[in-house]
Amino acid sequence: MKTVLILAYDFPPYVSVGSLRPYAWYRYFKQYDIYPVVVTRQWNNEHGNLLDYVSASGSDHVIKEVTDWGTMIKTPYKPNLANRLILKYGQSRFRLLRRSASAYYEFMQWVSLSGPKSELYFAAEDYIKSNKIDVIVASGDPFILFKYASKLSKRYNIPWIADYRDPWSDDFQIKDKYFLKNWALYHERNTVSSAAIITTVSTFFRQKLLKLFPQKEVCIIPNGFDPEVIKNSSDFKQDPSALNIAFTGTINPWNPLEKFLSVLADFLISSPGAKVRLNFYGVNIPEELNGILSKFPLLKNKVFIHPKMLNEELVKHLAKNSLMLLFNNYSIVGTKIYDYIGIKRTILFCFQNDNEGNELKKKYYNIKEEPGSSTHSQEDLIRETNAGYIVSDSNDLKTLLSNLWIEWQNNGSLACSTTNTEKYSRKEQTKVLAEIIQRLPVAKNV
């Protein structure tokens, strides 16, 4: 049995979609003859919001846990100056000082083994010194973990795999920031060049990575749904008291949220007796969302914003809804769609070709398309799995909502014909990664 060291900053109980990928490896690797050792940070998960990311850990020493699935090594976390200011004064004060402090720590971690994330490096090295490790897998973002994996690989002669959940130097948030983009590009090329294999979540990201690393093998391991979580939520029925529509996760600036809310408000005017609820779960911009909702007073008692929660609880909540709202992210598949198809609830995809949506895309979506990859990846997956409705535009949505309301009135629920989902189980995706690891040469720790 090979032993794999997994560097994963985001990891349960911290609530983030990025934590679910390495957690699946930890959960299922042993079933494929691989022993996982996860090195992560300690998460208290006390606040249910951004403060969980910056709060100090409950312990100031490394915690090691051995379970039926593998070994977990959890490092202590002490917030830096920027994070201490957030914890004490909130996000509205000392913004310039916080940004300056954050920039300092961000740059210095690449110059020396410093900053709170470096605790993962030291804990991983301590474990390697007294235990045989065959492969290192680093899951990024944060991409400083790639540097740690590369450094450990060179020092102890262990092959490593760079797993990209998101782009690094091609991140749309720094695309127009010359210094930040080139700083990231320099470190990306120098760091990932030593990886034995690169893995990523989609053809779109694979094409981008091949342009940077044309000589590397880049394998696709999609995101997916947790089969155990889906199984545990299978007994939850659609809420019979109202037609519930769910949205979870990130709202991007190019998503036509206001157009959707406008159509929903118009529908309620034309159908005054309609029992409809719109549920937002763990969205990234709750305060901004409340501001947008204030433009639609008719929705005041129809829209509910729920806090972040562990994935197992989230999926149970989603299962009580009848419709899963999904905005068009074009080339990017994302993660929420996999839970949607896993629980077999009808997806409401908005929009395929809406005028306002197209304008938002022109204004905000600065992600360059890649030849050889689909520009409508979510639509492809919905069609493949027969998972829902691909809504053309706002007029199409108006008609569809009326028809869905009639169906719900007649049946108390909405039928869903989702199929062919098994290969998108995170257990199956872990099997793919395990096969990649098994064919790597045996490490010779020195």
The DSSP annotation for 319-381 comes to HT-SEEEEE--TT---SHHHHHHHTT-EEEEE-SS-HHHHHHHHHH--PPP-TTS-S-HHHHH
CB atoms within 10 A of CB 406: 11
d(CA 258, CA 410): 29
Tokens of 422: 């098994």
Give residue 48's pLDDT.
66
Residue type, 238: Q
55 SS3 class: coil
Question: Is the distance from CB of 126 to CB of 160 less than 8 angstroms?
Answer: no
Q: What is the mean pLDDT of each run of 10 residues along the chain (446 residues)?
A: 96 90 97 97 79 83 96 93 78 81 83 90 97 96 96 97 93 80 93 97 94 96 94 92 96 96 96 94 93 94 93 94 96 93 96 95 89 91 96 96 96 94 95 95 63
For residue 201, report the phi and psi dihedrals to the nearest 5 degrees: -95, -15
For residue 163, report the phi and psi dihedrals to the nearest 5 degrees: -105, 115
d(CA 319, CA 322): 8
Beta partners for 6? Answer: 38, 137
Q: Where are the beta strands (DSSP E) in 67-158?
A: 71-75, 135-140
For residue 15, report the phi and psi dihedrals to the nearest 5 degrees: -90, 105
Give residue 263's pLDDT.
97
Cβ within 8 Å of residue 235, ≥6 positions away: none
DSSP state of 164: E
Give the torsion sign (CA, 381, 384, 388, 390): positive
Give residue 443's pLDDT.
59
Give residue 15's pLDDT.
85
Residue appearing with tokens 């562990």: 310
**Taking the model in full, what pTM does it have?**
0.91
Residue 5 CA: distances (Å) to CA of 21, 35, 120, 154, 199: 15, 9, 11, 15, 16
Question: Is the distance from CB of 306 to CB of 282 less than 8 angstroms?
Answer: yes
DSSP state of 413: S
For residue 420, report the phi and psi dihedrals to the nearest 5 degrees: 55, 45
Q: Which fold has domain 227-424?
A: Rossmann fold (3.40.50)
d(CA 263, CA 12): 37
Beta partners for 431? Answer: none
Q: Where in the sequence of the chain do the CATH 3.40.50.2000 domains occur?
A: 2-78+116-224+426-438, 227-424
- CATH architecture for residues 2-78+116-224+426-438: 3-Layer(aba) Sandwich (3.40)
Tokens of 241: 């008291």
Sheet holding 71-75, edge to edge: 63-66, 71-75, 34-41, 2-8, 135-140, 160-164, 197-200, 218-220
Beta partners for 36? Answer: 4
Give residue 81's pLDDT.
82
Give residue 102's pLDDT.
79
d(CA 12, CA 272): 43
Question: Is the distance from CB of 32 to CB of 430 less than 8 angstroms?
Answer: yes
CB atoms within 10 A of CB 367: 19
Residue type, 293: L
